[in-house]
Amino acid sequence: MNIGLIEFPQHTDEYGSLVPIEESDTVPFDIKRVYYIYGVENGMRRGFHSHVNLEQVLICVSGHVKILVKTPWEEKEILLNHPRSGLYIGPMVWREMFDFSEDAVLLVLASDHYRVEDYIRDYNKYEKMAQQYFAKP
Ligand code: T46
């Protein structure tokens, strides 16, 4: 389905915890961009798109959030509720983010710069493109 869960290493001592993230080690692509989403009001749902080429890892560094990942054949809801847990989302996967807790901060590592042309926001168009993409040998 082009998704995967990553558990980052964590260093905990009496001073607290530290989670290091390094490309090629735990993140399977070169990180070109980082952004974060926070202050999402209760009941708000974001996303509603797929990417053609972009790969990303989503990490909820504070609070919790649910991610719906979907292809034409299957869908899953994943709860991100720990700063050690990352959700890898590869190309051609529809995503929606919802049930943000008030304190949620969703950090995203991305494999490329922001490119509007990489977004597919029409679900019918996405379905057709995904059928071709996943059918390729
Ligand atoms: C994704 C999910 C998980 C920028 O100017 N630069 C950026 O790097 C990004 C990501 C967004 N923007 C602008 C474009 C919009 O005017 O920020 C505004 C909100 O973006 P968008 O509506 O695409 O946000 P989400 O939460 O629907 O989706 C975002 C990412 O765009 C997307 O790649 O996979 O988070």
Burial status of residue 109 (CB atoms within 10 A of its CB: 0-12, 13-18, 19 or more): buried
Ligand 1 site-directed mutation target among 33, 53, 70, 97, most atoms within 8 Å of CB: 97
**pTM for the model:** 0.96
For 124, the 3-state DSSP assignment is: helix
Query: Is 136's pLDDT higher than 70?
Result: no
Ligand 1 site-directed mutation target among 108, 109, 115, most atoms within 8 Å of CB: 108
Percentage of the chain exceeding pLDDT 90: 93
What pLDDT sits at residue 23? 82
Q: pLDDT by residue (tens digit) across 13-48?
A: 999 999 999 887 899 999 999 999 999 998 999 999
Concatenated DSSP letters of 55-74: -EEEEEEES-EEEEEE-SS-
Residue 49 annotated among the catalytic residues of the structure:
yes
For 29, the 3-state DSSP assignment is: coil
Host H or E run for residue 77: strand 75-80
